[in-house]
Structures are given as structure tokens and as C-alpha cells.
A = this chain, B = another copy of it.
Amino acid sequence: MSLFSFLLGEKKKTASVAKERLQIILAHERGGRSKADYLPALQRELIAVISKYVSINPDDIKVNLERQEDLEVLEVKIELPDPGR
């Protein structure tokens, strides 16, 4: 299954109401000795960049960080205001 079909499937499960949503996923795979842990700082900057394109209400941002083995996945879900409002 491709990533696209995975996300399409997820969308169909949750999308009861046609809302505009933006999902940012950062997956960091540390090779061997890398100690770099920049995802939290990167997350703040990415949200700052995105808010140049769309107006974001901080209450509409959900952040999820998971770590296992050498994989770290940061997921940011943003529900965007209805353009009609």
C-alpha cells in the first residue's frame, strides 16, 4: 500500500464533514550514531512558515510525537478555517 492510499483511507474514515485540513508529518530515521533531535524546533518553524499561507488558530493544531527504535515521527494536524466563513 502506498502512503497516498494510506492517507486517502484515513481521510475517508474521518472526513464526515468536508473541512479543509492540512497534515504535516515529519519522519526522522536516525542512522547509527546521529544524536540530532531537532524535530520539536523544526515543528515550531514549520507552523510559522505555514501560517504565512493560511491563517491558523492555535486551538486547531493537534501535535503527536512517537518514537520507536531509530524512528521518530512528528505529526501535526491543522483544521483550517472554512474559506466561506
At the interface, yes or no: A61 with Cβ under 8 Å from chain B? Answer: no
Q: How many copies does the complex hold?
A: 2
The minimal Cβ–Cβ distance linking A19 to chain B, given in whole angstroms, is 4
Contact of A20 among B20, B34, B42 (CB under 8 A): B34
Q: Looking at chain A's contact residues, is the secondary structure mostly helix, strand, loop, or mixed?
A: mixed
Question: Are B53 and A29 interface neighbours, CB within 8 A?
Answer: no
At the interface, yes or no: A59 with Cβ under 8 Å from chain B? Answer: no
Question: Are A24 and B22 interface neighbours, CB within 8 A?
Answer: no
- A38 to B52, alpha carbons, bound, how many Å? 10
- A52 to B41, alpha carbons, bound, how many Å? 11
User: Which residues from B are CB-within-8-Å of A41?
Assistant: 53
Contact of A68 among B1, B4, B22, B34 (CB under 8 A): B4
